[in-house]
């Protein structure tokens, strides 16, 4: 406690020492500049990329965007400022006075006193063209440049807000955030879609293998979360997940983000479904209130008709969702042989189902997958033995020996969530750098 206090004291000291003197022209993000009410000539500096140039006889209009909002800031300058380098895509620093705009299109504009081109943009070679609305498919060829378009910038801002909203939902509801490992020796889902990890050069390690066991990129943090739920009761993780699925579908990636929660003392699927539903609703409400313009842009210009995949499984999901009136649908109690070893067996005799739950949503299909976990030692032992997994999962069985409790959890595909709320047809467009079969650009 004392140490923490003195650390805080030291930090305060640092900040007072390094506090900058008030500058003549304060740097401002475009988003903040646009929000200034009753602008009255504040001296500010804005940095960003030119989105449009309009040169009139006496006046030059620029629109500058720095990624902080969908809307750009209008710069008004004397036509004498015009130069050949002031083109779409160039980066600039503009100093001037923030004033109330004459036009009704915007509240404020920046009356430029100084315009500096930081980096010229070679317009001919630049794959993003002025005033063109490029199809998302075309932009996918340029993962290093597509974030400069309105469409991708809006999607990625929503992604950022949704990430923060998910963390705040769990924090507000008493969940502990766990960093589950990316490298693991288990195959949680047992579906054999693993990427194996080895050092690129075996020379560096004297033994034959770096780890003593085969190691993989994680397909799910669930089993590690189950360990932690045995101490913290409610836990979550939100990180990258990897599946070597040979699929070019519009809803599969080789690297995607999964939100996973695990809750102890849960005895019914109803309780789990309530958390899933609440997480979805609260996150979406926060996103809608934080960036309504970005969501609106997606709905207006990107959202495509509700297409579905072609595989049989997906067609079943589509049928179910349609049948229920095109709304999200929970499907529960799946046949045991379709699901992984950890799911809790229902007491339904010959039907032989497990307490699994999937949430299917229109346009995307499966968004959440979850279950109650088999917490009964002997039943789990039998299931593991049947699958030849007893040795590898001894530690998992141990958890059922030392204070086992009924528990359950779920995983939500984060990219599929974004597809669902934004109406984006292809999953490759809601992640900054998509990885999928035959493609690992950059
Ligand atoms: O249904 P899944 O496989 O469930 C699990 O991995 C559980 N261990 C989670 C848990 O209970 N903690 O995956 C969960 C979700 C799916 O419903 C889907 O939304 C998404 O992850 N998902 C994918 N998203 C993009 N690309 C892929 N290849 C995906 N595979 C699954
Ligand atoms: Mg699933």
Answer positive or negative: Cα dihedral of 309, 315, 320, 326: positive
- Closest CA relative to residue 51, chosen from 132, 137, 157: 132
First to last CA, the chain: 45
- From the CA of 262, the nearest ligand is 1
H/E element, 73: strand 73-78
Q: What are phi and psi of 178, to 5 degrees?
A: -115, 130
CA of 286 from ligand 2 middle (Å) equals 26
CA of 350 from ligand 1 middle (Å) equals 28
Ligand 1 near 277 CB (within 6 A): no
Q: What local confidence, expressed as pLDDT, does residue 359 receive?
A: 96
Residue nearest to atom 30 of ligand 1 (CA): 252
Q: Decide the pairing of beta strands 108-119 and 73-78.
A: parallel
Tell me the residues surrounding ligand 2 (ion) with CB < 5 Å: 369
- From the CA of 373, the nearest ligand is 1
Residue 321 CA to residue 315 CA, distance in Å, equals 10
Domain ranges of the chain: 26-126, 146-429
Q: What local confidence, expressed as pLDDT, does residue 32 receive?
A: 97
Q: Which atom of ligand 1 is nearest to the CA of 412?
A: 15
CA of 303 from ligand 2 middle (Å) equals 25
Ligand 1 near 363 CB (within 6 A): no
According to DSSP, residue 343 is labeled: B
Ligand 1 near 253 CB (within 6 A): yes
CA of 257 from ligand 2 middle (Å) equals 14
Ligand 1 near 243 CB (within 6 A): yes
CA of 411 from ligand 1 middle (Å) equals 6
Q: Which atom of ligand 1 is nearest to the CA of 260?
A: 12
Report yes or no: 72 and 110 within 8 Å, Cβ to Cβ.
no
Architecture of domain 26-126: Beta Barrel (2.40)
Architecture of domain 146-429: 2-Layer Sandwich (3.30)
Q: What local confidence, expressed as pLDDT, does residue 206 receive?
A: 63
Q: What local confidence, expressed as pLDDT, does residue 6 receive?
A: 63
| Burial class of residue 145 (count of CB atoms within 10 Å of its CB; 0-12, 13-18, 19+) | middle
Q: Which atom of ligand 1 is nearest to the CA of 371?
A: 11
Q: Among 238, 416, 417, name the best residue to mutate to test ligand 1's pocket (greatest count of ligand atoms within 8 A of Cβ).
A: 416
Q: What is the mean pLDDT of each run of 10 residues along the chain (442 residues)?
A: 60 47 78 94 97 94 97 96 93 97 91 97 94 95 97 98 98 98 90 90 68 94 98 98 90 97 97 98 97 96 65 73 88 93 90 94 94 97 92 95 98 98 97 96 94
Residue nearest to atom 4 of ligand 1 (CA): 369
Q: What local confidence, expressed as pLDDT, does residue 22 receive?
A: 44
Ligand 1 near 245 CB (within 6 A): yes
- From the CA of 359, the nearest ligand is 1
- From the CA of 409, the nearest ligand is 1
Q: What local confidence, expressed as pLDDT, does residue 326 receive?
A: 86
Angle between helical axes of 150-172 and 414-422 (0-180°, round to 10): 120
Report yes or no: 280 and 287 within 8 Å, Cβ to Cβ.
no
- From the CA of 195, the nearest ligand is 1
- From the CA of 418, the nearest ligand is 1
CA of 209 from ligand 2 middle (Å) equals 32
Ligand 1 near 373 CB (within 6 A): no
Q: What local confidence, expressed as pLDDT, does residue 3 receive?
A: 65
Residue nearest to atom 21 of ligand 1 (CA): 413
Q: Among 189, 220, 224, 409, name the best residue to mutate to test ligand 1's pocket (greatest count of ligand atoms within 8 A of Cβ).
A: 220
Q: Among 229, 369, 416, 435, name the best residue to mutate to test ligand 1's pocket (greatest count of ligand atoms within 8 A of Cβ).
A: 369
Residue nearest to atom 17 of ligand 1 (CA): 368
H/E element, 379: helix 377-386
Ligand 1 near 411 CB (within 6 A): yes
Q: What local confidence, expressed as pLDDT, does residue 208 receive?
A: 72
């Amino acid at each position: 406690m004392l140490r923490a206090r003195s650390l805080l004291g030291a930090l305060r000291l640092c900040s007072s020492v390094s506090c900058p003197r008030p500058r003549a022209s304060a740097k401002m993000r475009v988003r903040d500049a646009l929000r200034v009410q009753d602008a009255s000539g504040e001296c500010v500096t804005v940095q960003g990329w030119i989105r449009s140039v309009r040169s009139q006889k006496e006046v030059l209009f620029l629109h500058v965007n720095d990624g902080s909002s969908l809307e750009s800031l209008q710069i008004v300058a004397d036509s004498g400022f015009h130069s050949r380098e002031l083109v779409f895509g160039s980066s600039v620093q503009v100093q001037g006075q923030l004033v109330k705009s004459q036009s009704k299109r915007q509240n404020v504009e920046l009356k430029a006193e100084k315009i500096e081109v930081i980096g010229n943009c070679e317009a001919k070679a630049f794959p993003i063209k002025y005033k063109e609305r490029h199809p998302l498919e075309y932009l996918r060829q340029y993962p290093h440049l597509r974030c400069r378009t309105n469409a991708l910038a809006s999607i990625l801002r929503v992604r950022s807000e949704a990430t923060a909203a998910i963390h705040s939902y769990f924090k507000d509801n008493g969940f502990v955030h766990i960093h589950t490992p990316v490298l693991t020796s288990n195959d949680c889902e047992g579906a054999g879609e693993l990427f194996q990890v080895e050092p690129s050069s075996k020379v560096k390690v004297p033994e034959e293998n770096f780890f003593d066991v085969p190691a993989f990129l994680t397909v799910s943090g669930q089993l590690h979360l189950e360990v932690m739920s045995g101490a913290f009761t409610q836990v979550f993780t939100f990180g990258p997940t990897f599946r070597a699925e040979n699929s070019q579908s519009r809803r599969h990636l080789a690297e995607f983000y999964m939100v996973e929660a695990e809750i102890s003392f849960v005895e019914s699927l109803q309780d789990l479904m309530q958390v899933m539903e609440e997480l979805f609703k609260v996150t979406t409400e926060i996103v809608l209130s934080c960036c309504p313009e970005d969501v609106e842009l997606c709905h207006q210009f990107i959202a495509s008709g509700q297409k579905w995949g072609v595989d049989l499984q997906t067609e079943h999901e589509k049928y179910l969702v349609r049948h229920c009136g095109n709304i999200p649908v929970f499907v529960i109690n799946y046949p045991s042989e379709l699901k992984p070893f950890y799911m809790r067996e229902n007491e339904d005799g010959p039907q032989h189902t497990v307490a699994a739950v999937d949430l299917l949503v229109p346009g995307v299909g499966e968004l959440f997958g979850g279950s109650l976990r088999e917490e009964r030692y002997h039943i789990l032992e039998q299931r593991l033995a049947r699958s030849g997994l007893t040795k590898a999962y001894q530690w998992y069985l141990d958890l059922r020996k030392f204070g086992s409790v009924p528990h359950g959890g779920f995983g939500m595909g984060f990219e599929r969530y974004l597809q669902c709320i934004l109406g984006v047809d292809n999953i490759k467009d809601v992640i900054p750098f998509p990885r999928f079969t035959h493609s690992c650009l950059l």
